[in-house]
């Protein structure tokens, strides 16, 4: 439940001109507006599972978008009940939308495939059907070396631009490959979001080499039995998954209201993983390229 200091689950990944929202707990739209992200940019929403602290805020978010006269489409992804939840509430609450909304049921595997990134889903271990998500950028072309292009007699301009972006070109009847004038391909960034889950070995490979992993840490060591009973993770268990998956930065989240100060959870997790922080409302994390 929310506290005086903390709202419910919702994470926004801002990438270029697009925002991807993961979960929409009750009242999330207020912090979304505070964040300054903007209500009318390209938007995808992903729901991990159909518990109210992860999805009820969708209703207010969609209505707020309409009241702001949004006209761009919104793509919504979630468990199979998500369509009935949205359509039923729109009918009961008698509201419509000013923009197209597409709703897609999620299953394990590829959820979204874009030109330069993908979003994948993996079943988590929770009391209801729940999914973890990964946003993974495709590899980028290597560093462009102008001196190599000049040595091959390639004139500056559009041909250089194509080579910089990984495209091969034709010059005087000869094919010049991008790799001839660029360095090795560079890995993209990867962000994982666990949703609510018990620690699960299947998630280790799924979250392998994440730059940032946002993981369920509802309890500390003092309530490890409750974590197992309620199908959540402790901070220490989250850190163990992150360490085994070679995660760079672990963000603990979804704290029980009994923890006014999450620093105790961070301390427990840091006994396992060296780079741990606690999520908080309106926290912003920059995720740089290597």
Q: Are residues 155 and 17 in the same domain?
A: no
Residues 230 and 122 placed together within one structural domain of the fold: yes
In this predicted structure, which of 41-50, 168-177, 251-260 has the lowest mean pLDDT?
168-177
The total of structural domains in the chain comes to 2
Q: What is the pLDDT of residue 283?
A: 97
Domain containing residue 160: 146-180
CATH code for position 215:
3.60.15.10
Say if residue 218's pLDDT is above 90.
yes
Q: How many helices (H) and strands (E) does the chain have?
A: 10, 14
Query: Looking at the domain assignment, is residue 23 inside a domain?
Result: yes
Instruction: List the beta bridge partners of residue 12.
Output: 21
71 and 105 both lie in a single domain: yes
What value does the mean pLDDT take over residues 69-96? 96
Please check whether residues 82 and 162 belong to one and the same domain.
no
Instruction: Check whether residue 132 and residue 251 sit in a common domain.
Output: yes
- Contacts of residue 166, defined as CB under 8 A and 6 or more positions apart, other chains included, come to 140, 141, 178, 182
Active site residue 84: no
pTM of the model: 0.91
The answer to whether the Cα torsion of 45, 124, 286, 10 is positive or negative is positive
2 found inside a domain:
no
Which of 94, 36, 108, 34 has its CA nearest to residue 66?
A: 94
pLDDT of 31 higher than 90 = yes
**Which one of the listed residues 53, 196, 200, 216 is annotated catalytic?**
53
Residue range 138-170, pLDDT digits in tens: 998 888 899 999 999 999 999 989 888 888 999
Residue 81 belongs to a domain: yes
Contact 45, 76 (CB under 8 A): yes
Looking at the structure, tell me whether residues 23 and 119 fall in a common domain: yes
pLDDT confidence tier of residue 39, bands split at 50, 70 and 90: confident
Looking at the chain, how many residues does it have?
A: 290
Same domain, residue pair 39 and 87: yes
Residues 236 and 158 in one domain: no
Do both 62 and 115 map to the same domain? Answer: yes
How confident is residue 246, by pLDDT bands cut at 50, 70 and 90? Answer: very high
Q: Both 115 and 100 in a single domain?
A: yes
53 and 85 part of one domain: yes
Distance CA 154, CA 131 (A): 49
Name the band, by pLDDT with cuts 50, 70 and 90, for residue 57: very high
């Amino acid at each position: 439940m929310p506290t005086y200091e903390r709202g419910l689950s919702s994470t926004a990944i801002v990438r270029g001109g697009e925002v991807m929202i993961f979960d929409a707990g009750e009242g999330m739209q207020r912090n979304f507006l505070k964040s300054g992200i903007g209500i009318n940019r390209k938007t995808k929403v992903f729901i991990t599972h159909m518990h109210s602290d992860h999805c009820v805020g969708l209703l207010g978010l969609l209505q707020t978008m309409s009241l702001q006269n949004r006209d761009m489409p919104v793509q919504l992804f979630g468990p199979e009940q998500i369509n009935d939840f949205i359509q039923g509430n729109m009918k009961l609450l008698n509201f419509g939308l000013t923009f197209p909304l597409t709703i897609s049921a999620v299953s394990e595997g590829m959820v979204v495939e874009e030109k330069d990134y993908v979003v994948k889903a993996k079943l988590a271990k929770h009391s209801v059907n729940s999914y973890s998500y990964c946003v993974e950028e495709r590899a980028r072309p290597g560093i462009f070396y102008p001196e190599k292009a000049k040595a091959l007699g390639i004139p500056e301009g559009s041909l250089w631009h194509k080579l910089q972006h990984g495209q091969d070109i034709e010059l005087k009847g000869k094919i010049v490959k991008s790799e001839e004038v660029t360095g090795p391909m560079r890995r993209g960034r990867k962000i994982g979001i666990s949703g609510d889950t018990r620690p699960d070995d299947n998630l280790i490979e799924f979250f392998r080499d994440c730059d940032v992993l946002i993981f369920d840490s509802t309890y500390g060591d003092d309530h490890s039995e409750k974590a197992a009973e309620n199908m959540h993770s402790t901070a220490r268990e989250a850190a163990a998954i992150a360490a085994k998956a070679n995660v760079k930065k672990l963000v603990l989240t979804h704290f029980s209201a009994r923890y006014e100060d999450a620093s105790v959870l961070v301390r427990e997790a840091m006994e396992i993983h060296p780079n741990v922080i606690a999520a908080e409302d309106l926290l912003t994390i920059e995720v740089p390229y290597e």
